[in-house]
Amino acid sequence: MKLSHYFLPTLRQAPSDADTISTKLMQRAGLIRKVTGGLYEWLPFGLRALKNVEQIVREEMNAVNGQEVWLPIVHPKNLWEETGRWNQYGKELLRFKDRKDAEFCLAPTAEEVITDLVRNEISSYRQLPVFLYQFGTKFRDEIRPRFGVMRSREFYMKDGYSFHADEKDAENFYQKAFTAYQNIFKRCGLKFRPVEAETGAIGGSFSHEFMVLAETGENEIAYCSCGYAANSERAECAPPSPPPPEPSQPLQEVHTPNAWTVEDVAKLLKAAKEKFLKTLFYMADGKPIVALVRGDHELNENKLMRHLGSKKLEKATDKEYEQIAGCPVGFAGPVGLDGRASLLADLAVQTVFNGISGANKKDYHLKNINRDRDYRPAQFVDLHVAAPGDRCPRCQKPFQFCRGIEVGHTFKLGTKYSQSMKATYLDAEQHSKPFIMGCYGIGVSRVVAAAIEQGNDENGIIWPASIAPFQVQLIPIESEDSKIKEAVEKLYQGLQKRNISVLLDDRSERAGVKFKDADLIGTPLRITVSSKTIEKDSVELKRRSSKELQMIPLNQCPDFVDTLLHEMLK
Ligand code: ATP
Ligand code: MG
């Protein structure tokens, strides 16, 4: 590709609303443009990277017998009603009507449509397993689109769905898909970590997220040297080792006017947050539940829901809270609540002696609360979001934490969709059985942004060679010189003959401008041809990721670059 005619509009300054390094660089380097909140155009340079990621994903999906399909993005309401997700999905699902008033949604994911396809076409265990996948646009009306294409409303996803006759086959395939995902992200040149995850709106029995490690990631990962790693919203915590017990002090009521948050009361009473018992009210399938967590912890609603086995968990309204606790919001505590609602306490609450909590009375808190004497939860269970100080559930070592960008998600769905949609096959004994399913997503557009989030410096992008829009940037200096012109043209042809993608900067710009642009757009290898190099029958080679300059004989250059790229792609 010759740069003089390439649609690559670069910017000196990123738009002021660009909120991450990758968003800034993707706009400055001419990969994307913003149409409006959460909607982007992909320009030729960006699309080349996207297509490179897509191809890697496609190859790895095909390697585990994936067969590519293309499903519609507009889905009819009736299929989504069969699984109940038409009502459950919430506002991320964009629903609309056609001219005949029939209702549809824009696909955020495609379990319903694919399950419908398979139930119509597959009837026997002999036709199983089958693994179908597609690339395509997904739409989610995200409440707060941000981070450019990392959390956009419209994005490009690979979604795959597998159908199996039994659990064992589904599990074996899950392992294969997991390995394929590891291959994909390795080949994309990313530093990543698979972690145990919540199943969210897609559901199912268990799942893994693939996290690209980056400080700016939205997710927090709790991990341990033993190999355990989980999204901190999922991570289980080992029971905390109890501190030495303190002698019980007498219960004491203290006046705390206008102080109802842990922070406010802690300040007022000059006490540590760890001394507090946070008392939280929920309605689980319509029944009141009170959950206690330590003041420095956050309640993990997923853990609470899983423990209760409830379908719907909602924070109690102020009215419900007041009815249960008999006091205004902010002044509830465990003492005297037994009997009014089921009381569950987090394991770490066991470490609180002489604790502080609301007195179930306006403007009052209680000091020196001790369990058994003052309150008695129905059970102590792991209920809080893993936090520093927590320990690994497998080996009890303290967790370490890092941040990540979720680029892929694999789910073992089991029969969640096949059961509700009556998607069945006949087994060898002619018994009708629901398909066992798995589903496997990759945010292809998010992968491109995540790669840039991980690969950049003050001058611009540093692409992994495997997904870079071009592998080589060829820069002639004083390009009117016929000797240089001839050498460059020969190189340009020679490299392309070896299937190397080359961007030739044939603009009549100064060397400084060309180098600056090359750094901004981040092509892995830069080859400069100038009168100085031609004098020595050579070219100057530089990797984007290093400062080192290397002289290579002109006639050996294409082969040298070919070998080097092969090494870089390993
Ligand atoms: P998140 O927790 O980030 O919202 P999710 O759990 O909703 O993600 P999945 O439903 O598992 O995501 O979707 C599969 C993949 O699609 C994700 O791993 C991610 O890479 C990508 N993805 C999800 N939402 C978006 C979005 N709004 N913009 C870009 N990519 C997205
Ligand atoms: Mg989401």
Q: What is the pLDDT of residues 493-545, one digit of tens each?
A: 999 999 999 999 999 999 999 999 999 999 999 999 999 999 999 999 999 99
The residue-averaged pLDDT of 343-370 equals 94
Q: What pLDDT band is residue 203 in, cutting at 50, 70 and 90? A: low
Percent of the chain past pLDDT 90, that is, above it, reads 89
Q: What is the pLDDT of residue 478?
A: 82
Q: What is the pLDDT of residue 206?
A: 79
Q: Is 148 in the pocket of ligand 1 (CB under 6 A)?
A: no
C-alpha Rg value of the chain to the nearest Å: 29
Q: What is the pLDDT of residue 205?
A: 67
Q: What's the Cα-to-Cα distance from 408 to each of 63, 229, 369, rounded to whole Å?
A: 18, 15, 45
Instruction: Name the closest ligand to CA 136.
Output: 1
In angstroms, what is the span from residue 138 Cα to ligand 2's centroid?
11
For every residue of 432-459, DSSP letters joined together read: EEEPEEEEEEEEHHHHHHHHHHHSEETT
Q: Which of 196, 198, 406, 412 to mutate to test the pocket of ligand 1 (most atoms within 8 A of CB)?
A: 406
Q: Is 151 in the pocket of ligand 1 (CB under 6 A)?
A: yes
Q: Is 155 in the pocket of ligand 1 (CB under 6 A)?
A: yes
Angle between helices 444-454 and 21-28 (to 10 degrees): 100
Q: Is 152 in the pocket of ligand 1 (CB under 6 A)?
A: yes
Q: Are 269 and 367 in contact (CB under 8 A)?
A: yes
Q: Which residues contact 428 (CB under 8 A, 6 or more apart)?
A: 125
Q: Is 275 in the pocket of ligand 1 (CB under 6 A)?
A: no
Q: Which two tokens stand for residue 431?
A: 């018994």
Q: What is the pLDDT of residue 137?
A: 97
In this predicted structure, the answer to whether residue 178 has a pLDDT above a threshold of 70 is yes
Q: Which H, E and C letters describe 273-324, residue by residue?
A: HHHEEEEEEEEECCEEEEEEEECCCCECHHHHHHHHCCCCEEECCHHHHHHH
Q: What is the pLDDT of residue 530?
A: 96
In this predicted structure, the answer to whether residue 198 has a pLDDT above a threshold of 90 is no
Q: Are 197 and 231 in contact (CB under 8 A)?
A: yes
How many CA within 13 A on the CB side of residue 31?
A: 29
For every residue of 95-116, DSSP letters joined together read: EEE-TT--EEEE-S--HHHHHH
How many CA within 13 A on the CB side of residue 174?
A: 23
Q: Is the peptide bond before 129 cis (omega within 30 degrees of 0)?
A: yes
Q: What is the pLDDT of residue 190?
A: 98
**Which amino acid, one-letter code, is at 443?**
G
Q: What pLDDT band is residue 201 in, cutting at 50, 70 and 90? A: low
Q: Is 389 in the pocket of ligand 1 (CB under 6 A)?
A: no
In this predicted structure, the answer to whether residue 446 has a pLDDT above a threshold of 80 is yes
Q: What is the pLDDT of residue 241?
A: 83
The residue-averaged pLDDT of 458-465 equals 98
Task: Please name the residue whose Cα sits nearest to atom 22 of ligand 1.
Answer: 443
Q: What is the pLDDT of residue 246?
A: 85
The residue-averaged pLDDT of 399-423 equals 96
- Give 100-138 pLDDT, tens digit per residue: 999 999 999 999 999 999 999 999 999 999 999 999 999
Tell which atom from ligand 1 comes closest to the C-alpha of 197: 6
Q: What is the pLDDT of residue 116?
A: 98
- Give 138-169 pLDDT, tens digit per residue: 999 999 999 999 999 999 999 999 999 999 99
Tell which atom from ligand 1 comes closest to the C-alpha of 405: 3
How far is the C-alpha of 263 from the C-alpha of 271, rounded, in Å?
A: 10
- How does the average pLDDT of the chain come out, rounded? 95
- Give 237-259 pLDDT, tens digit per residue: 999 887 888 899 999 999 999 88
Q: What is the pLDDT of residue 480?
A: 80
The residue-averaged pLDDT of 64-82 equals 98
How far is the C-alpha of 32 from the C-alpha of 47, rounded, in Å?
A: 9
The residue-averaged pLDDT of 366-384 equals 94
